[in-house]
Structure formats: C-alpha cells, structure tokens
Amino acid sequence: MRPAEQASALDFDPSLPGHPDPYPIFHRLRATAPVHFSPHMGGWAILRYADAAAFLRDQARFSRAALIEQMLRKFGPQLILESQSHELAFSDPPGHTRFKNLVSRAFTPQAVAALKPHLEEIVDGLLDRVAERGQMDVIADFAYPLPSIAICEMLGVPQADAAQMMRWVEGIVASRGVVRTQEMITEGDRATLGFDDYFNRQIEDRERHPGGSDLLSAFLTVDYHGERLSRLEILTILSTIFAAGHATTTNLIGNGLLALLHHPAEMARLREHPELIASAVEEMLRYDAPTQAVSPMVAREEVEIGGQRVAAGETVSVLIGACNRDPERFADPDRFDIARSDNEHLSFSHGVHYCLGAGLARLEGQVAIVRLLQRMPRLRLADDRLEWKEMGRFRGLKALPIAF
C-alpha cells in the first residue's frame, strides 16, 4: 500500500489548484505527510523546502526526459510530445546543457533589460484603454494580454498577431499538466500545428532578410563553440517562451495585486517606496506562487526522499506553494512582507531547470505593478467574490475586478 492513507487531507487535489486558499491545507499536509504518494497526481509530492531543493538538484538519480518517454508509451507518438521532448524543461544533461548554453547566449539579461522602455509603453497603452471607465478586470484587460504583446515585441513579430498566438498557447499549456489526458494531448497537437506553421513562416522570412535585431533573429544566428540551434530547437524554445512565460506572468500580476489589495498597509508602503518593487515582486512570487508544481521527474533507481522510499520509474513533483510557505525555511511564512530579505523561493524552480525566462517575468511584474499603483491611486477591489482557475500546475484568478 502506498502511504496515501496516512493523510486524510489528501482528499484535496494539489494538481488542480483552483482552491481559494490551499495554504492551510498545505500546512496540514506538510505536518503529516511532507513527502507522500498522491493518488491525484499519480506520483510523489514534496512539500518541504529542504527536500524539494535537494531533489531539484539531483540530476543523477532523477530524469525529466524519462517523463516524456512515459507519456509516449501511454499515448503513442504525438506531435506535442515530440515537441516537448526537445524542451529544456523535459531534457537532461548533457543535451540540456548544450541547448541552454545556446539559448542563453541569445536570450540574455541585456536583451530583457532592453525591453523595459517598450514594456512601459505597452503597460501604459493597456491602462489608457480603461482609464475613463473607472474599473477593469485586471486579468482580461491587463495581465492576460500584457505578456503576449511583450513577447511578440521581443521576438519582432506583429503585436496584432498576439491574440491568435494566445489561442494556440492555451492549447499548448493545457497539454503540460502534472496529470495529462488524451484530450489535453489532442488539443496540444492541434495548437502546436498552428503555432509551428506561423513561426516557420517567420523564420523563413528572416532567412531571406537576415540582420534583424529581434530575439528570433538572435536565435537564428547564435553560435556556441561552432554549434547552432536547429529549426526544431528554435520552434521548441519559442513555444516554451510563450507557454511558460505567459501563464507565469499573468498569474504573477493577478496574484501579486490581489495580495496588495488584501494587505493595504503593504500597498501603501510600496506606493511610498517604489524602490521596493524588486523585493515586492519576489514576495509576490513566494507568497502566492503563479506556478504551484514543477514538472515531475522520474526516479532512475530506488531512492529515499524525506524518509519515503521511491521506486525506480515513479514520478516525483514539488508543490511549490507548500515549499514557499515552509516555516523551517521562511520566518512567519504566512505574512506578506514586500521587504522580506533572504527570499530564495522556488517559484522559478531550482538547479539546472531554473527558469530561463525568470528575468523577463520579474521585469514584466515590476513594471506592471508599479504603473498600476502610480496611475490608480485609489485602487480597490470591485467584487471580492473571486474564483480561481483549474489549470493543472498553474494558480491564477479567472477575473480580478477592480475600481479606481
């Protein structure tokens, strides 16, 4: 028998974080079953920070590539799984190392920082659209369109195509859950066909007219010790930037603003001291993580985690939201403190799979939150009857109505 029976709290499904407040449940689970086999997730779940950090660093005994191999055995050859098999998130060293080295030479901190003036213009443009209304849905009007427009700007593709891009990306995101169904995979296949066709045409245009300064052009020309990115690898990283970057940023802005609205003293503090925005965004990422679970890894051999024996071939994931509220790692973890120091949360994962787009998500969150507070000094919730999406490993609001 798996030790699921040791915690009746496992009635809660951590793979579908549509719960309005899962954190008390996480505290109970961490106290009774900090490493447990979850019947909902079909594998092991880690809820303690120290266990999670050690697991995420352990590339010798755990594999991301093996997860896709399991999916291929379960669903058979599928376009979305073939695409994911080449992603950084689902590959292991040494192939992962080579791919990440190439991508990071194009997707540099300097390239992200250069986006800031354009990002401020995009944010102001979105706020201008609602300024006369006196109210808006932060998700639909602001947090959802912002990252797709910003990514289009960075890649040098028309912003007018952002809405279509997101229809494809939603299908791709749906296929990336901790638990996957045939319906999710089928939708992922359909979306991948449209997405790849669009960017194949963009790539061919740049090959005919080289010399551009956008990120897509950089992916086409980047060179590391004589190696280049293949066409398939470029399509893969583009899909990852949209799929992972969009959901994370949308939820960061929505969850982060909600935390400020629920903590008016901290919101007033940030208005008075906007220089705290960097640490404020880190606290938003810790306090209500936009991604609540990492993609599972597969045990290569029998191992022990937190006193539990994990068999070879079993999957293991980390419940980020639980680890980010672990009192053994964070003092007073349920307190929202925008100036919190020593805030090394796991919201962008850890180890070799640390999120390559973390800098972009942070910048988008910082610019968005600061401009919202600057332009809307009397910001308040218009309706406190909020609902959370059921989005696999992501945690985000369906809507966030505010008045200003």
**Mean pLDDT, consecutive 10-residue segments, the chain of 404 residues?**
42 60 93 91 93 96 91 83 83 90 92 93 96 95 94 92 88 72 83 93 95 94 92 92 88 98 98 97 97 93 96 96 98 98 96 92 97 94 91 87 96
Closest CA to 343 of 330, 358, 328, 326: 330
93 close to 185: Cβ distance less than 8 angstroms: no
Strand partners for 380: 403
Residue 84 to residue 70: CA distance in whole angstroms: 13
In the CATH hierarchy, which fold is given to the domain comprising 3-403? Cytochrome p450 (1.10.630)
How far is Cα of residue 365 from the mean position of the Cα atoms in its chain? Answer: 13
CA distances from 366 to 97, 279, 376 (A): 29, 10, 15
- What tokens appear for 67 in the block? 């997860």
CA distances from 68 to 63, 80, 87 (A): 10, 10, 10
pLDDT value for 40: 79
pLDDT value for 271: 97
24 close to 46: Cβ distance less than 8 angstroms: no
**Which positions ≥6 away from 38 have C-beta within 8 Å?**
4, 10, 14, 15, 44, 45
pTM above 0.95?
Answer: no
pLDDT value for 9: 44
Residue 247 to residue 293: CA distance in whole angstroms: 13
How far is Cα of residue 351 from the mean position of the Cα atoms in its chain? Answer: 16
pLDDT value for 391: 62
Q: Domain segments of the chain: what residues?
A: 3-403
